[in-house]
Amino acid sequence: MSAPERHPFLAGLSKHRGAPPTCLVIFGASGDLTSRKLLPALYNLAVDNLLPADFALVGFGRKPLPDGEFRAAAARDIAKFSRRPFNPEIWSRVEAAVHYQAGAYDDPAAFAALASKVSDLERAAGRALQLVSYVSTPPTVFDAIVENLGRSGLAARGLGSAAESKVIIEKPFGHDLGSAVRLNAVIARNFRESQVYRIDHYLGKETVQDLLVLRFANPILEPLWNRAHVDHVQITVAEELGVGARGGYYDHSGATRDMVQNHTMQLLALTAMDAPGSLSPEAIRDQKVRLLDAIRALRLGPGGDAVRGQYAEGLSAGERVPGYLGEKDIPAASATETFSAVRLAIENDRWAGVPFYLRSGKRMARRVSEIAVQFRQPVDGLFARDGRYDIAPNRLVIQIQPDEGSTLVLNSKVPGLEPRTQPVRLSFRYAATYGSDTPEAYERLILDAIVGDRTLFIRGDETEASWRLYTPLLESWASAGREGLESYASGSWGPGGADALLAAQGHAWRNTGR
Ligand code: BG6
């Protein structure tokens, strides 16, 4: 393939060179996400020289820890999890900006101490710093942190200016509609919506951002992107891993809350929304909310729009692995679903009558996240009506991960004297075209929050719209217990009911092999 045109989002990165002086506080400094994702992301931003010239990081956690120990632990995490090798010289530049503050999340005195630390850092920098608070703790303390940020005055710093105080909220954003509404209310008491950055890390993935470019920078697609031409859409977010050490969290969550309600629905919204009036964050988020609001309520119960499953033992990557009930911290009779599939009907002019199938599961046959748009086959196509030809439906598959790229399935003539056709794939792979060194989702998201770009973050009404759809389903499953919960072997493509969900409309999942 020829040399790439300049990638718009890479070009976009240069705007970040003007990032305002910033103090980033991470609540949950000794948590897993901080170690695996946030610290490595910050390090990689430093490697690319994208952090603000005046930058300070304060890790906030319950455990008392001298700055030196927090720095040493951060260096170890970066060496282990960074996408690029640890370079001691770069780290020595970053390290001096790393601080630690111990305190309880519900203790106003700890936030008063934090406020004076931020003032000290400002004095040392000789200029005002915008405060970005990253709430990366278990959700049980989200409220306390947000309230204390408000009470201590930290939330109101720089209000109305470009450098106003910002808050990044990690998932899970609520457990159902009621808790999401309550959390939004706590946030709204302490912050303006313009200060709030709700994370869905899927939006930080390169391929997910490219969805907007693919759809709206290639005008040949738009005339086809509707019920007249699209037969159905399948969105798969499959993982090979099981719950691992996260059983305690996962058993209260399940596949629908953990993946479908947020990540998979974001993929759906970007795939199906109408063109926004501009690339402004609000124009894009308005369209996503309109799309989510147009989804018909799920039909519950047997034969309805949803299927759930739980993995049993089986073979994963060639190894025998235990079933979900045999995993650490999982109650023996747990009814938590590790697989969830839904059939969605979008009731608008563009999509009425086109099923959107979404599924996500752990311990599936392979790790793949993709969006497959299957186009209609004319009943009376010239070649299709002649029984000798193998005519496949045209399909556009956008592979989010791994092996990022997109593929268009077309039919071609097989060379030779026999009248034969065969489906072929026109394929674009990121790695081949751009190289494989793409930034991690968290790099972009942290940087966007620092510069105040909310495009890739979830708005309050957006999260509520998605919860409105899934809460009745989750409640019906909770009251049914294990009844209707199917089992599937680890290393398979999920329970039989998921196949039946599509077969009811003459469709079948794309279960590709490696
Ligand atoms: C997280 C979920 O949000 O996303 C995890 O809590 C899941 O259960 C993870 O494994 C998947 O993210 P990625 O980026 O590896 O696809």
Give the pLDDT confidence score for residue 380 in this predicted structure: 79
165 and 242 part of one domain: no
Structural tokens at position 159: 């209000």
CB of residue 404 inside a 6 A radius of ligand 1: no
Band (pLDDT 50/70/90 cuts) for residue 161 is confident
Q: Of ligand 1's atoms, which has the minimum distance to the CA of residue 441?
A: 14
- pLDDT at position 17, please? 54
Residues 217 and 159 in one domain: no
Do 497 and 376 share a structural domain?
yes
165 lies in the same domain as 225:
no
Report whether residue 239 contacts ligand 1, using a CB cutoff of 6 Å: yes
Contact 504, 327 (CB under 8 A): no
Q: How many CB atoms lie within 10 A of CB 397?
A: 19
Query: CA geometry: angle at 425 spanning 355 and 490, to 5°?
Result: 60
Domain that holds residue 129: 22-170
For residues 439 and 207, the answer to whether their CB atoms sit within 8 Å is no
Q: Is 209 helix (H, G, I), strand (E, B) or coil?
A: helix
Q: How confident is the model at residue 512 (pLDDT cuts 50, 70, 90)?
A: low
List the end-to-end C-alpha distance of the chain, in Å, as a whole number.
Answer: 23
Which residue in 16, 201, 232, 263 is the catalytic one? 263
| Helix (H), strand (E) counts: the chain | 17, 16
Q: Is the CB of 370 under 6 A from ligand 1?
A: no
Measure 267 CA to ligand 1 centroid, in angstroms. 14
**C-alpha R_g of the chain:** 24
Closest protein CA for atom 8 of ligand 1: 258
Q: What share of the chain in percent tops pLDDT 70? A: 96
In a domain, 450, yes or no: no
Tell me, in angstroms, the distance from the centre of ligand 1 to residue 504's CA: 30
Tell me the C-alpha to C-alpha distance, in Å, between residue 294 and each of 230, 238, 346, 378, 459. Answer: 18, 26, 6, 28, 17
Question: 363 near 338, Cβ under 8 Å?
Answer: yes
User: Do both 248 and 159 map to the same domain?
Assistant: no
Nearest CA to ligand 1 atom 5: 258
119 and 229 part of one domain: no
Q: Which residue has the tokens 């031409």?
A: 229
Q: SS3 of 374, please?
A: strand
Say how many C-beta atoms besides its own lie within 10 A of residue 248's C-beta. 12
Centre of ligand 1 from the C-alpha of residue 348, in Å: 31
Ligand 1 atom closest to Cα of residue 237 = 16
154 and 212 in one domain?
Answer: no
CB 459 within 8 A of CB 269: no
More confident residue, 317 or 223: 223
Look up 229 and say whether it is catalytic.
no
pLDDT of the residue at 18: 67
Q: Which two tokens stand for residue 356?
A: 């959107």
- pLDDT of 177-227, one tens digit each? 999 999 999 999 999 999 999 999 999 999 999 999 999 999 999 999 999
pTM of the model: 0.94
**Please, what's the b/e burial string for 476-491 (b: 16 or more CB within 10 A of its CB; e: otherwise)?**
ebeeeeeebbbebbbb
Residue 115 domain-assigned (yes or no):
yes
- Number of domains, the chain: 2
166 and 208 fall within a common domain: no
Among residues 147, 170, 193, which one ends one of the domains?
Answer: 170
* 158/294 same-domain check: no
Model pLDDT, residue 379: 76
Could you tell me if 475 and 333 lie in one domain? Answer: yes
Residue 141 CA to ligand 1 centre (angstroms) = 21
Within-domain flag for 508: no
